[in-house]
Amino acid sequence: MKLSELKKGEKGIITKINGQGLLRKRLSEMGFIKGKTIEAVRYAPLGSPVVYRILNSEIAITPEIASLIEITKKELPLQ
């Protein structure tokens, strides 16, 4: 699934970053690294940008960029 499909409060694990060149490099510099857990924190009133929490930082990116990042949804453990 794409990172842009994650709803507020849901978590996922990054499996792949599509895109090339400077965009891909910039995303990795911001912490978007394969295997890291990411959480959708909040959405702007008009839907863009979206704030994500990764590596104890909150980073805002557009849904278009978020759609380049593939994740596996992290399910909550049963209690």
Query: Over the stretch 44-70, which tens digit does the pLDDT of each residue have?
Result: 888 789 999 999 999 999 999 999 999
CATH of the domain at 45: 2.30.30.90
User: Is residue 58 a part of any domain in this protein?
Assistant: yes
Measured CA to CA, the distance from residue 23 to residue 32 in angstroms comes to: 11
According to the model, what pLDDT value does residue 76 have?
62
Residue 55 lies in a domain: yes
Count of domains observed in the chain: 1
Give residue 44's domain range: 3-74
Tell me whether residue 79 is in a domain.
no
* 7-21 confidence digits (pLDDT tens): 999 999 999 999 888
- For residue 40, the model assigns a pLDDT of 94
pTM (predicted TM-score)? 0.84
Question: Which percentage of the chain shows pLDDT scores above 70?
Answer: 95
